[in-house]
Amino acid sequence: HHNPKKLIPNVNYFSLLRNFSEYEITEKLSNYSKYLPYFTSCNRNFKIFNQKPMTKFWCGECPKCLFSFIMLSVFLPRIKVLEIFGEDLLNKYKLLPIFRELLGLDIKPFECVGTPEEVKLGLFKIYQKKEFNNSILISYFINEILPNLDEKELEKNVLNKKVENLIPEEFKT
């Protein structure tokens, strides 16, 4: 119950990203195309015993990979996303249980991934682009989720949520 300011009075902490959803962060990231082949959000590649240099940045099997694939597919052409991941994760039937978890249909993955609303909005945008509409998981989305989707409501819940972020004035641009 201590006041953090009393314990460490000269430290300011803040988050530049807290005001943005994962969806919005991905949108910003997608503008830096030269870095996209070199970043990862997949934890499975950071095995402690993995001493050899990392050649593959994404395992293609876990919730973070599928979530990142979906988010990047909203803002990048399909061909670019396939270059980054090396395969079409939306066409992997074995990822259906993870896909359902990301959609909030089953228990949420115990990983840092975005909300089911972000996933649904992202999938709706991907569906509109029509680049993945032959993929297994997008077909599932079209049949099971799309009929009851309220796009406007999703956008309201995902975009521009303002929260207290403690950002000092000089960092606000």
Answer whether residue 10 shows pLDDT above 90.
no
- Give me the percent of the chain exceeding a pLDDT of 90: 46
Look at residue 31 in the predicted model and tell me its pLDDT: 73
Judged by DSSP in three states, 138 sits in helix
- Distance from C-alpha of 105 to C-alpha of 114, rounded to nearest angstrom: 14
In this structure, how many other beta carbons lie within 10 angstroms of the beta carbon of residue 128?
Answer: 11
The pLDDT-based confidence of 78 (bands split at 50, 70, 90) is very high
CA-wise closest residue to 45 among 29, 56, 31, 36 = 56
Query: What integer pLDDT is reported at residue 42 of this predicted model?
Result: 78
pLDDT at 21: 67
The pLDDT of 40-45, averaged and rounded, is 70
With cut-offs at 50, 70 and 90, classify the pLDDT of residue 48: very low
The mean pLDDT of 111-122, rounded to a whole number, is 87
Confidence label for 113 from pLDDT (cuts 50, 70 and 90): confident
Q: Largest alpha-carbon pair distance within the chain?
A: 58
Per-position b or e across 2-40, b if 16+ CB within 10 A of its CB = eeeeeeeeeeeeeeeeeebbbbbebbebbeeeeebeeeb
Express as a percent the part of the chain with pLDDT over 70. 65
Instruction: Tell me the average pLDDT across 147-157.
Output: 91
- Please compute Rg for the chain using Cα positions: 18
